[in-house]
Structure 1
Amino acid sequence: MSQWKALTDQSRERWDQVAGFWDDYMGEHSNRFHREIVRPSTERLLEVKEGDMVLDIACGNGNFSRRLADLGAQVVALDYSAVMIERAKQRSTSYEGRIDYQVADATDYDALLAFGAERYDCAVANMALMDIADIGPLTSALGQLLKRDGVFVFSIPHPSFQSPSARKIHESEEINGQIVTRNSVQISKYLTPESFETIGIRGQPVPHLLFHRPLSYYINLFLGAGFVMDGWEEPSFQLDADSTARFDWYELPPAVIFRFRKK
């Protein structure tokens, strides 16, 4: 068994275990991070139009698949967790005929090609590529699945600020009679790709696997596959004067969203 296959199997097993917990937590409207950070930038970069065919990769419980359908798209949504796909179907009974949910492994090139050559106007992966052990097969398959000028938009935790060794620091000091506070991130590793266990939502049953890669890894991979990068965003939360959060990502972007276009 190859290293990638072993990691993919382990990752899938973890997600099957946490699928119910994540679905219950995200619910119908997902969490603040997805509503304020991921979704607005993703929708701007996708530019979905009525009648578009969209491939939603690693769709989870289908929150964004349903949003795409509401925007008028015809959606094929896939995830390698059969438990998560079942949860997505249960939440999407009113979307029959508009969303086709399928269990599929995004590391399996041949399985991806079975979804149709040059069928899709765009593809999306929301906060998912960092959960996939080997994204090379997906990158290659997207070159076949997308129509000419089709786009792939994906979001990941910003690897410059959320690497495996990242530490969130909250400091306060008195300056001229005023208490001044600062939030920062301390990074000691960034360039070397690596996998590690992480807790995405506090209280989830088991940690899942996350695969850290520097920004250059993603950019070079897609450019090498014949795509061009023609859009990206680094969103952050808007400062809320009433917020009591000690660290809420105002000046540091917690995620990065890319758009790559097939030429």
Structure 2
Amino acid sequence: MATEPLPALSARAVASWEDNAAYWDNSITKHGNKYWKRLQEPSLARLIGPSLPNGQGKECRALELATGNGLCARWLSHRGASVLATDACENMLALAKGHCEPGTPEEGIRFRKVNATSEAELGALAAEGPFDVVLLNMAAMDIADLNPLAKALRGLLKEGGVFVATLLHPVFFTSKNTRSIEMNYDPATGEYEVSRGRMIREYMSVPPSLGIAIPGQPVKQVGMVMDAMEELAFTEEDAEPDRVEATTNFPQLPVILSFRVRFLW
């Protein structure tokens, strides 16, 4: 597939989310799915936790990009953060606002339409900062150009602030791979043993493709250092015996990668 000009690709990505927002929200739900509960939330608690008030009285200002239905924004608010949640999709923002419960920390969340590929819109956010935390949860693969964000982060973060992101694992999820399931009969026990794996055929030369494209990586010289990274996999407790092909049945292979970066001030 030929790579589209970045503005057109960005517009198509946003339009796709406008069309699919309600369906996505119904599937993920207000409280998050298994991927959130078992993988993303525990990892974010470890990577962002030290920056959050967590009842200790300190201030934390958090900016979420691509908030979707507001799941992470609500999570941050319940941990004492003052949250500005943004998204380029108006339908997603409407869903996120609708999920906020009156009389809870959620009603203090501020929402704004922001396209993370726009230098001007990201620059305007800097006037709202600086922020202790900038979060991009499971959305990097939907942002057509990450360079504007990479350039904007220094102006968005406080000194000592952190940028945290999660995304589908680039080796085990968005490369060209196939799942393998082998059924081996053990004559000693009379039982079948199931062996699962993935065959990775292409990783270094995978071209951009519709749905998972990131055509344009942040340049390396942006002055940041990665100080934490986690590869998140399901465990045996998450197995789905009735669906042998399910991702939850591959506990040795991570499905999500999360990381935290800081500036070298």
Bin for the TM-score computed over the shorter chain: 0.7 to 0.9
How far has the Cα of 1:179 moved from its partner?
2.2
Match of residue 187, structure 1, among 197, 200, 203: 200
In the alignment, the residues of structure 1 paired with residue 31 and residue 16 of structure 2 have an alpha-carbon distance, to the nearest angstrom, of 23
Cα contact 2:73–2:83 (8 A) shared by 1: yes
Q: How do residues 124-135 of structure 1 correspond to structure 2 at under 5 angstroms?
A: 124-135=135-146
Aligned match of 2:134: 123
Match of residue 25, structure 2, among 19, 23, 46: 23
In the alignment, the residues of structure 2 paired with residue 97 and residue 227 of structure 1 have an alpha-carbon distance, to the nearest angstrom, of 33
Aligned match of 2:94: 86
In the alignment, the residues of structure 2 paired with residue 228 and residue 6 of structure 1 have an alpha-carbon distance, to the nearest angstrom, of 31
Cα contact 1:193–1:212 (8 A) shared by 2: no
Using the size of structure 2 for normalisation, the TM-score is 0.86
Matched, 1:240 2:237: yes
Matched, 1:54 2:47: no
In the alignment, the residues of structure 2 paired with residue 148 and residue 12 of structure 1 have an alpha-carbon distance, to the nearest angstrom, of 32
In the alignment, the residues of structure 2 paired with residue 92 and residue 21 of structure 1 have an alpha-carbon distance, to the nearest angstrom, of 19
User: Residue deviations 1:183-206, cap 9 Å, x none?
Assistant: 111221111353323xxxxxxxxx
RMSD: 2.1
Larger-Rg structure: 2
Matched, 1:256 2:261: no
How far has the Cα of 1:241 moved from its partner?
8.4
Q: Describe the shift of the 1:97–1:110 C-alpha distance in structure 2 as closer, same or farther (beyond 3 A).
A: same
User: Residue deviations 1:149-196, cap 9 Å, x none?
Assistant: 110010011111112422122111224445221111122111135332
Q: Percent identity?
A: 29
The unaligned stretches of length 5 or more in structure 2 are 54-58
In the alignment, the residues of structure 2 paired with residue 211 and residue 20 of structure 1 have an alpha-carbon distance, to the nearest angstrom, of 22
The one-letter amino acid of 2:223's match is G
Matched, 1:145 2:156: yes
Count of aligned positions = 246
Cα contact 2:77–2:106 (8 A) shared by 1: no
The unaligned stretches of length 5 or more in structure 1 are 198-208
How far has the Cα of 1:243 moved from its partner?
4.2
Q: SS state of the match for residue 232, structure 2? A: coil
Q: SS state of the match for residue 195, structure 1? A: coil
In the alignment, the residues of structure 1 paired with residue 206 and residue 66 of structure 2 have an alpha-carbon distance, to the nearest angstrom, of 21
Cα contact 2:161–2:262 (8 A) shared by 1: yes
